[in-house]
Structure 1
Amino acid sequence: MSLKNIYHLRRVADTSSKACLICYKPSTSVLITPDNKDFFYVCPAHLQDRHFCSPIINAEAEAARRKEEEMAKEIEQVKKEYEEKQKRKKERAAKDDKEKKDDKDKSKEDSKDKKDAESKDDEKDRDDKIDSIRKAGESKADASPRVFALHKNFYQMRIDRLRNIEMAKRNQDRMKNPALFPSVPNRGL
């Protein structure tokens, strides 16, 4: 039996939590092999322990995470630029309002209401876009590693456990086979 030393981190519901392999506290984190031959519950704190396991870092995932961080920075920069433009627009509007105040009070209020409505629509659209990007980022933003390799002692424990289970099954099958036991000796008559 070959068991690769690659374990993926999965989460289960709180109602399905079971005892951690190491400290026996209830845990919702499960390490499982890709072929589903072996799994065990472990606390998230133990995943940080360098003597228990080490993360296997995927270069593509790391590049994607960096790209997301850059995108978040760019979003913040665009947001700041937009706010600056809005401030300048308001300053210009205030300046224009002072100049045109004497000319047309009623027509100015109408145009101001239109400008305010347009700026509110622009702000709403911008906020919606930012929120959708943040939500997409939050779903992917779990920065903790998801693939681990156990250290040699813990890995050997898992192999030994699976080997013992397999041997116990073989022994049970042998015990059920009547040909395994010797037959009763016959007396020669």
Structure 2
Amino acid sequence: MNNEYVRRKVGIRDMKSCLICQKPTTVVLYNKSIPDLIYSCEIHLQDNPQFVLPIQSTEYIRTVERLKILKRELAVANDNDKTGSWDNWVTKIFSSKKSEGEVDDDNSKKANDSATPSPDQADPRKEYNELLDRMAQLQNDVRLFKLSKSMFESRIHQRQMMLKRIELQKREEQSYSNTDPDELTTSFNFPSTPTTKPK
């Protein structure tokens, strides 16, 4: 048995109650190997490790790794530039007043050059934001899920109990359906009614 469930949508007429909150839902988790159906709301599939865990694609894993690298690079760049700090903000105000009053073209050119990236270099902030958007889209597009260990064991146990009940019903039906009425009369001695002769 494989702990891999595929998220699918069913029609409104096939809607059933959610396993967790009992509200009607059209979202179904389907396991082909058992076979098993679990109706669940979309919200319960997101960030609910006691119920299900998403099985992420390799593209999602690569995106997360690249985001970690970019985050470290941006943190180092922010520490070096002091971008967004109080000191830098005050320095910018005084340097803008200074440039209005005095002609200090060399310093302003250096500041402008460091602020705007060259066309051959990609802006790490822009790439970081694009990767964040891509990661969010990949999270929404997840179709494969894995039940938590306790939940999966519970589903297997329920399945086994259901199969045992079905097997018992079949046995009972067979024992009653294989009975021949003639065989019953010959195998059992039914008491006969006493016969009396008329006087």
TM-score range, shorter chain: 0.3 to 0.5
With normalisation by structure 1, the TM-score equals: 0.46
More helix by share: 1
Larger Rg: 2
